Amino acid sequence: MRTVCDETGRQYLLLKESGESSLVRDPASGERRYVANDELSPATGESPLATAARAVPDPVRRLVTAVRDERTLGLLVELNERGPLAVRGVVGGYDLCESDVHGALAEFQAAGLVDETEVAGERGYELTGDGEAAVELLQR
């Protein structure tokens, strides 16, 4: 399997190639269709597995790659359930050490899943819209 692009730059997974056309799958929709070979070009540097992963909604992909264990996933679930949380409350209220809390929150912030906020006059974090969407999709 390879990743290919059409003339607009949209990426597809190449499933089968014949003389004049190729069967491709849109990774986002799953739609399969035949496209003329002269309308396709190889997508350089793009892993077909990374392309296939686009079947998963973007916020969920970012969550999956940012979460390193069940405890850090639980932190996102708690932010979703309880709303913004102060950092000091997280450190004192859960079984994560301070460096684990800060490391996880930094990863989540880099992934666009949380934003820094103020909670009762202290530094805290809240889920972004993408963070909420990702957690809610996983909880279904």
Check which CATH number belongs to the domain holding 86 and give it.
1.10.10.10
End-of-domain residue from the set 55, 78, 93: 55
pLDDT band at residue 44 using 50, 70 and 90 as cut-offs? confident
Quote the domain boundaries for residue 19.
2-55
Q: What is the pLDDT of residue 15?
A: 95
Q: Which two tokens mark 123? A: 């530094």
| Cα-based torsion angle of the residue sequence 131, 133, 138, 140 in order, rounded to the nearest 10 degrees | 150
Q: Which two tokens mark 58? A: 């973007």
Q: What is the pLDDT of residue 12?
A: 95
Residue matched to tokens 């974090």: 125
End-of-domain residue from the set 39, 55, 71: 55
Pair 32, 95 in one domain: no
Pair 111, 89 in one domain: yes
Global model pTM greater than 0.85: no
- Cα–Cα distance measured from residue 11 to residue 40, given in angstroms and rounded to the nearest whole number: 9
Pair 33, 67 in one domain: no
Number of domains in the chain: 2
